[in-house]
């Protein structure tokens, strides 16, 4: 089955533009990944979506303002007259950190994705293919960031998120139950489900098989870490 | 339960017990059995200790039950089907027994094991249990429950597809670790997660199922951003220098790789020769002929006319020639000795400097402390023999394949044995002398003590070489009769223990005598007596070596007729 995907007998269909791919990831991710599985890896397929995630998160973080109490504290420590400069630099380096984090996280998740495919599903696909799939799934992450910002504005609570912790307002942010409920974020579940489809398409394995491994890592292990913390 | 199967189980169990009992004739099995019985005895003797009480506390029992239960399930799943004896497949499976009867027949030995376990549990933990009999019975029944679960899991997993089994296995393993970690956290407050796994930064590991802005709330990221923003240690100029260093070395590594990959010389032909040579060396080492062959021709060496090298002395000469040709081993040994002796000499020198500065050497107690320090150094030099013996293989280790040839020599077995252990013993003594000279200079021992020290080192070297040669001879004899390819790890461990044990009689005597004998000659008499005992042990060891050599001769003449 994997051989049939990697060496197609018919010529590959015409490549869809990246913008369309990013839009299709919300509506029909299977088609996007099916096309990706047969096409050679392209840098723009992972660079643009990852940059989009980074920019969206930076903009959302900028719009909501600093949530970190440490910034205000240090702002007082910095000598008078330089506070504005410090705040500007803080925003700049936060944005840099977020951008770096987006790329590092994409690289790491692609590695896990690729390892699952190679080790557990015995499928042969390149690491860059995994990077493309994870990056394109980032479109959902960007949408999640926007929804989170809107939710924060509407509910007047910077910690508000589109997850089950919305219903556990009486619990503190550090409470394990709240953290576990927070893990059940609708956009996280969505992006994980899209990763399942991606793994299934690129490896040739069944959806159930792919779901077992992807949900095992991206959901069960994450919940386990929260419960054990 | 079918009576025929019950009888079959009973007969097989009895026979197995008898075979197990007979296997005790083998020294390794006997030692293992004695060790197990001894350990059980020790545990039973200390059964009232507090630690046993802790082991039957509620938390520990629940944890143990969890491990047993999950372990049984996992073992069953891994097994995929029940394991029977091969004859069972032929006789029991084809006989008119129902599946239920065969299952019970399979479970009978496990029930016996559960009963045994219950008895041991009751015997060990009775002092800490309110109702020992009830607890032991429950333990037995719980173990039986676990066996039932394992059997059911084995039957179930045998019927599922390979792919599903693979997935199930990983699921069970993951669930076991998760539940175990949760139990440890709930019962004992032990958090197995390292700190970094609990930080917000760890959420990045689950991207895209992660909130990226959470990263900036982690302590590490916050410190990083604050330092950058405030222009501290992690500011751009401060980071420039390390970045340049990193880039420089990275560039060096990349350039060297580029240069290496551009080499046009063929890799295959030289590698073929080197690989073949290394493989031969490994084979020779495995067969105990390490370093026997060298590149190129070695010149033949004439036997000297000196009377010492006549008769059995010819073997000594042969081993000396081999030692001379094995320059790599000798250089390694002398390098090691040089480092070791330099370290000891430095210690002696420092001790002398310190005592002269502080006036430590004056007074009776100080003189005794100084003597004890120097004797400790002497002991360190003696310990050198343990390492060196393994470096000099000019004895039965290398001559193992030539034992049949030695048998034809017109010399007595005792002479052969003495000749074989002579060269490594002399080399060990020569190496020890390097460390002994500074000790004698710094130590300023009384002449009886110097004499005893000079006699002590040969006693130790002979004992060690004899013990190890017993092992080499035994291994060579087994290889010659085709019973074993190389020494077993258990055998090697036993020899290591024996090489320490042979000094125990002398050590024990010295330890007791030093409390009774005081005065100016007390130490000398103590060491002298210990030395005499050690020489007696040496004689016994050489005698054992000679006997084994003779025994090998007899079994070699009558192959298959040996014991």
Complex-level ipTM beyond the 0.85 threshold: no
Residue A222 belongs to a domain: yes
Question: Testing the interface with B: which of A105, A158, A205, A220 to mutate, by most B Cβ within 10 A?
Answer: A105
The closest CB to that of B230, out of A74, A137, A228, belongs to A74
Q: How far apart are CA B308 and CA B515, in angstroms?
A: 44
| Contact between chains at B167 and A192 (C-beta distance less than 8 A) | no
Q: Which residue has the tokens 């047969």?
A: A38
Q: How far away is chain B from the Cα of A164, in angstroms, using its nearest Cα?
A: 14
Q: How far apart are CA A50 and CA A199, in angstroms?
A: 19
- Identify the pLDDT of residue B231: 65
| Contact between chains at A101 and B167 (C-beta distance less than 8 A) | no
Q: Which residue of B has its CA nearest to A85?
A: B229
Chain A contact set for B224 (CB, 8 A): 93, 97
Residue A210 belongs to a domain: yes
| Contact between chains at B208 and A148 (C-beta distance less than 8 A) | no
Structure tokens at B233: 């240690």
- Identify the pLDDT of residue A87: 75
| Contact between chains at B209 and A97 (C-beta distance less than 8 A) | no
The reported pTM is 0.54
pLDDT over 80 at A198, yes or no = yes
Given a contact cutoff of 8 angstroms between Cβ atoms, the answer to whether B132 and B126 are in contact is: yes
Does residue B208 have a cis peptide bond before it, meaning omega lies within 30 degrees of 0?
Answer: yes
Residue B406 CA to chain centroid, in angstroms?
Answer: 33
- Identify the pLDDT of residue B256: 92
- Identify the pLDDT of residue B396: 85
Q: How far away is chain B from the Cα of A219, in angstroms, using its nearest Cα?
A: 8
The closest CB to that of A70, out of B205, B206, B226, belongs to B226
Residue A105 belongs to a domain: yes
Residue A6 belongs to a domain: no
| Contact between chains at B229 and A93 (C-beta distance less than 8 A) | yes
Residue A11 belongs to a domain: no
CA dihedral defined by B417, B419, B424, B428, rounded to 10 degrees? 110
Q: Which domain covers residue A86, as residue numbers?
A: 21-228
Closest C-alpha to B510, from B500, B496, B524: B524
Q: Is the dihedral angle over the CA atoms B539, B540, B545, B546 positive or is it negative?
A: positive
| Contact between chains at A105 and B204 (C-beta distance less than 8 A) | yes
Residue A8 belongs to a domain: no
Planar angle of CA B465, B469, B475, nearest 5 degrees: 155
Burial of A15 from C-beta contacts in 10 A (0-12 / 13-18 / 19+):
middle
Residue A38 belongs to a domain: yes
Residue A13 belongs to a domain: no
Chain B contact set for A142 (CB, 8 A): none
Domain count, chain A: 1
Q: How many CB pairs under 8 A join A and B?
A: 125
- Identify the pLDDT of residue B241: 80
Residues of chain B with pLDDT under 70: 230-238, 285-298, 359-364, 482-489, 520, 552-563
Q: Which residue of B has its CA nearest to A159?
A: B214
Given a contact cutoff of 8 angstroms between Cβ atoms, the answer to whether B351 and B361 are in contact is: no
| Contact between chains at A90 and B229 (C-beta distance less than 8 A) | yes
Cα–Cα distances (Å) from A6 to A128, B196, B247, B402, in that order, read 14, 39, 38, 62
The closest CB to that of B208, out of A92, A138, A221, belongs to A138
> Which pLDDT band holds residue A3 (cuts at 50, 70, 90)?
very low
What is the Cβ-side half-sphere exposure of residue A221, based on CA atoms within 13 angstroms? 21
Structure tokens at A184: 């059940």
Q: How far apart are CA B159 and CA A215, in angstroms?
A: 26
């Amino acid at each position: 089955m994997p051989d049939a995907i990697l060496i197609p007998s018919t010529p590959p269909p015409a490549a869809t533009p990246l913008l369309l791919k990013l839009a299709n990831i919300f509506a029909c991710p299977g088609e996007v990944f099916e096309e990706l599985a047969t096409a050679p890896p392209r840098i723009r397929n992972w660079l643009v979506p990852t940059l989009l995630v980074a920019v969206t998160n930076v903009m959302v973080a900028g719009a909501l303002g600093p949530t970190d109490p440490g910034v205000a504290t240090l702002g007082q420590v910095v000598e008078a007259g330089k506070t504005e400069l410090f705040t500007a630099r803080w925003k700049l380096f936060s944005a840099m950190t977020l951008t770096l984090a987006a790329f590092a996280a994409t690289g790491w998740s692609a590695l896990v994705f690729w390892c699952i495919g190679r080790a557990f599903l015995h499928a042969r696909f390149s690491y860059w293919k995994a990077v493309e799939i994870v990056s394109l799934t980032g479109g959902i992450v960007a949408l999640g960031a926007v929804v989170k910002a809107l939710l924060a504005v509407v509910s007047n609570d910077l910690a508000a998120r589109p997850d089950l912790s919305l219903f556990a307002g009486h619990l503190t942010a550090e409470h394990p139950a709240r953290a576990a409920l927070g893990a059940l974020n609708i956009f996280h579940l969505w992006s994980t489900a899209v990763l399942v489809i991606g793994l299934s398409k690129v490896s040739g394995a069944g959806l159930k098989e792919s779901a077992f491994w992807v949900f095992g890592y991206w959901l069960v292990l994450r919940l386990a870490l929260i419960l054990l913390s | 339960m079918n009576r025929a199967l019950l009888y079959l189980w009973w007969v097989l169990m009895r026979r197995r017990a008898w075979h197990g009992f007979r296997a005790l004739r083998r020294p390794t099995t006997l030692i293992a059995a004695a060790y197990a019985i001894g350990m059980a005895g020790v545990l039973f003797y200390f059964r009232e200790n507090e630690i046993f009480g802790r082991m039957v506390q509620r938390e520990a029992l629940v944890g143990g039950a969890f491990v047993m239960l999950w372990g049984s399930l996992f073992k069953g799943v891994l097994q995929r089907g029940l394991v029977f004896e091969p004859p069972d497949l032929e006789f029991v499976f084809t006989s008119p027994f129902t599946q239920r009867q065969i299952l019970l027949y399979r479970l009978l030995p496990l029930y016996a094991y559960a009963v045994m376990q219950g008895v041991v549990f009751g015997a060990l933990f009775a002092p800490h249990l309110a109702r020992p009999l009830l607890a032991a019975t429950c333990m037995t029944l719980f173990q039986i429950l676990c066996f039932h679960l394992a059997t059911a899991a084995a039957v179930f997993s045998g019927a599922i597809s390979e792919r599903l089994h693979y997935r199930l296995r990983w699921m069970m393993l993951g669930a076991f670790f998760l539940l175990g970690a949760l139990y440890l956290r709930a019962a004992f407050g032990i958090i197995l997660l390292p700190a970094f796994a609990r930080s917000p930064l760890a959420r990045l590991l689950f991207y895209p199922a992660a909130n990226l802005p959470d990263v900036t709330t982690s302590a590490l990221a916050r410190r990083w951003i604050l330092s950058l923003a405030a222009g501290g240690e992690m500011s751009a100029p401060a980071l420039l220098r390390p970045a340049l260093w990193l880039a420089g070395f990275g560039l060096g590594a990349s350039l060297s790789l580029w240069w290496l990959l551009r080499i046009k010389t063929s890799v295959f032909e030289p590698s073929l020769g080197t690989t073949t040579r290394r493989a031969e060396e490994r084979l020779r080492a495995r067969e105990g002929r390490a370093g026997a062959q060298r590149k190129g021709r070695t010149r033949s060496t004439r036997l000297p006319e000196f009377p010492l090298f006549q008769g059995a002395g010819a073997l000594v000469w042969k081993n000396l020639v081999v030692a001379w040709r094995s320059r790599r081993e000798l250089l390694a040994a002398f390098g090691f000795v040089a480092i070791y002796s330099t370290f000891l000499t430095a210690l002696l020198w420092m001790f002398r400097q310190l005592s002269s500065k502080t006036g430590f050497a004056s007074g009776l107690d100080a003189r005794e402390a100084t003597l004890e320090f120097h004797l400790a150094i002497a002991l360190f030099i003696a310990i050198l023999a343990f390492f060196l013996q393994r470096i000099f293989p000019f004895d039965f280790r290398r001559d193992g394949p030539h034992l049949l040839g030695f048998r034809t020599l017109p010399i007595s077995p005792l002479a052969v044995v003495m000749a074989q252990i002579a060269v490594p013993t002399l080399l060990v003594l020569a190496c020890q002398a390097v460390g002994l000279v500074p000790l004698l200079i710094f130590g300023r021992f009384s002449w009886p003590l110097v004499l005893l020290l000079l006699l002590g080192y040969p006693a130790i070297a002979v004992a060690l070489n004899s013990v190890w040669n017993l092992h080499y001879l035994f291994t060579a004899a087994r290889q010659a009769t085709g019973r074993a390819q190389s020494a077993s790890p258990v055998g090697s461990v036993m020899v290591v223990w024996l090489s320490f044990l042979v000094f125990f009689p002398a050590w024990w005597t010295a330890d007791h005598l030093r409390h009774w004998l005081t005065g100016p000659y007390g130490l000398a008499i103590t060491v002298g007596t210990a030395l005499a005992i050690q020489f007696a042990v040496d004689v016994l060891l050489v005698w054992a070596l000679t006997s084994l050599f003779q025994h090998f001769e007899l079994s070699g003449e009558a192959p298959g007729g040996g014991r």
